[in-house]
């Protein structure tokens, strides 16, 4: 099998390259998206805005070649760190989300329908950066004032949110979220406790890897069942999702979709397939990925 590995700064491509070499595959490192000609292409994308822009452009170039199987696929690269696009394409899986591109509809919703608190998000940002709790009418009014002015809303990495507001229902009474990662047909799971200062788990560092199915309580297994429906319906093969439980409506909701994560945090997680243990751990992720590639999961 011919494999192309992007030469990224976090060595994901190099790690896959080394594992593929051991198996005897024809494998090549690349840094120019015009070079891969045929086979599988693995590309680690990063959320820093300057790097992410380059990675998205590279994925767009790779997607022009029908002889390449991309990991992640092109659609996932478009959705990556773009909450506006996630809201557009994946709204049925998310908490109720509204996007406003001018003051008038934002004011109308605020005056007639708003229930506090709710969540405001910038389109870009990871680890709960650029995610804000809107607790009061004054908070919301200030968001409208800034977003539709020359000032904008200051965000992480010196970015400015301007010209839109993305307001999402807050899902209360969750002390944690559940992160589920799909690699081909394999899954890894992790429970992440909320930050101490706000009810958001992403980036808290308070993680509980699911080391075996014995670690997974019924709530986590229910989240996995919902995730399985999502991955199969949307055909995502390299994807991580963050989930919280909507107690009022009795269902799990997705609050984030990503193609990048802190890989070493999953070393102790057990890979699961069809709700059964595989005996493989996250520390063996590159061989698991190769297993899935060899089975044709990404074609």
pLDDT of residue 128: 80
Same domain, 195 and 280: yes
User: CATH no. for residue 227?
Assistant: 3.30.470.20
Same domain, 136 and 195: no
pLDDT of residue 204: 76
Same domain, 197 and 278: yes
Number of domain units in the chain: 3
pLDDT at position 129 over 90: no
pLDDT of residue 270: 98
Closest CA to 269 of 203, 207, 192, 210: 210
pLDDT of residue 127: 79
Name the domain boundary from 109, 137, 169.
169
Query: Strand order of the sheet with strand 26-30?
Result: 26-30, 2-6, 39-42, 68-71
pLDDT of residue 18: 98
CA distance 37 to 39: 7
pLDDT of residue 200: 78
User: CATH no. for residue 9?
Assistant: 3.40.50
Radius of gyration of the chain (CA): 20
User: CATH no. for residue 134?
Assistant: 3.30.1490.20
pLDDT of residue 203: 77
Would strands 68-71 and 39-42 be described as parallel, antiparallel, or unpaired?
parallel
Evaluate whether residue 79 is within a structural domain.
no
Highest mean pLDDT among 125-134, 174-183, 203-212: 174-183
Q: What residues contact 132, with CB distance under 8 A and at least 6 apart?
A: 119, 120, 121, 143
**Which pTM was predicted?**
0.95
Mean pLDDT throughout 132-147?
97
Evaluate whether residue 225 is within a structural domain.
yes
Mean pLDDT throughout 156-184?
95
Same domain, 141 and 244: no
pLDDT of residue 156: 86
Same domain, 158 and 193: no
Same domain, 54 and 163: no
Expressed as residue numbers, the domain containing 278 is: 176-294
Name the domain boundary from 169, 201, 218.
169
CA distance 281 to 211: 8
Q: Are 208 and 190 a contacting pair, CB within 8 Å?
A: yes
Q: Are 209 and 265 a contacting pair, CB within 8 Å?
A: yes
Q: How confident is the model at residue 15 (pLDDT cuts 50, 70, 90)?
A: very high
Evaluate whether residue 36 is within a structural domain.
yes
Same domain, 114 and 185: no
pLDDT at position 196 over 90: no
Evaluate whether residue 299 is within a structural domain.
no
pLDDT of residue 69: 98
Task: Measure Cα distances from 190 to 117, 125, 201, 236 in Å.
Answer: 27, 21, 11, 19
CA distance 117 to 120: 10
Same domain, 12 and 51: yes
Indicate the burial class of 20 (C-beta count within 10 angstroms; 0-12, 13-18, 19 or more).
buried
Token pair belonging to 163: 């010209």
Same domain, 211 and 268: yes
Same domain, 57 and 105: no
Name the domain boundary from 169, 189, 210.
169
Would strands 2-6 and 39-42 be described as parallel, antiparallel, or unpaired?
parallel
How many helices and strands in the chain, by DSSP H and E? 8, 17
Q: Which segment of 15-19, 45-49, 69-73, 137-141 scores lowest on mean pLDDT? A: 45-49
pLDDT of residue 17: 98
Q: How confident is the model at residue 230 (pLDDT cuts 50, 70, 90)?
A: very high
Closest CA to 171 of 251, 258, 81, 87: 251
Evaluate whether residue 80 is within a structural domain.
no
Q: How confident is the model at residue 98 (pLDDT cuts 50, 70, 90)?
A: very high
Q: How confident is the model at residue 197 (pLDDT cuts 50, 70, 90)?
A: confident
Q: Are 207 and 290 a contacting pair, CB within 8 Å?
A: no
Same domain, 248 and 274: yes
Same domain, 42 and 58: yes
Beta bridge partners of 97: 168
Beta bridge partners of 207: 192
């Amino acid at each position: 099998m011919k494999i192309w590995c992007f030469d990224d700064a976090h060595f994901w491509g190099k790690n896959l390259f080394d594992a593929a070499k051991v198996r005897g595959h024809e494998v090549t490192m690349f840094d120019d998206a015009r070079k891969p000609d045929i086979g599988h292409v693995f590309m680690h994308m990063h959320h820093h805005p300057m790097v992410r822009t380059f990675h998205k452009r590279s994925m767009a170039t790779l997607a022009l070649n029908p002889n390449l199987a991309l990991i992640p696929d092109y659609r996932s690269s478009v959705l990556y760190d773009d909450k506006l696009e996630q809201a557009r394409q994946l709204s049925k899986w998310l908490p109720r989300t509204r996007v406003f591109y001018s003051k008038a509809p934002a004011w109308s919703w605020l005056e007639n329908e708003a229930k506090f608190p709710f969540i405001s998000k910038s389109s870009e940002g990871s680890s709960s950066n650029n995610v804000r709790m809107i607790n009061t009418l004054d908070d919301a009014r200030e968001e409208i004032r800034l977003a539709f002015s020359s000032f904008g809303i200051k965000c992480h990495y010196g970015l400015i949110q301007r010209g839109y507001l993305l307001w999402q229902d807050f899902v209360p009474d969750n002390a944690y979220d559940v992160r589920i990662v799909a690699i081909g047909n394999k899954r890894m799971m992790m429970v992440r406790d909320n930050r101490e200062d706000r009810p958001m788990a992403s980036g808290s560092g308070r993680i509980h890897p699911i080391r075996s199915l014995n670690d997974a309580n019924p709530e986590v297994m229910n989240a996995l069942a919902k995730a399985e429906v999502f991955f199969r319906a949307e055909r995502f093969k390299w994807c991580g999702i963050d989930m919280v439980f909507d107690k009022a409506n009795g269902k799990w909701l997705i609050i984030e979709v990503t193609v990048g994560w802190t890989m070493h945090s999953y070393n102790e997680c057990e890979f699961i397939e069809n709700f059964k243990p595989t005996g493989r751990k996250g520390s063996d992720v590159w061989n698991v990925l190769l297993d899935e590639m060899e089975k044709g999961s990404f074609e």
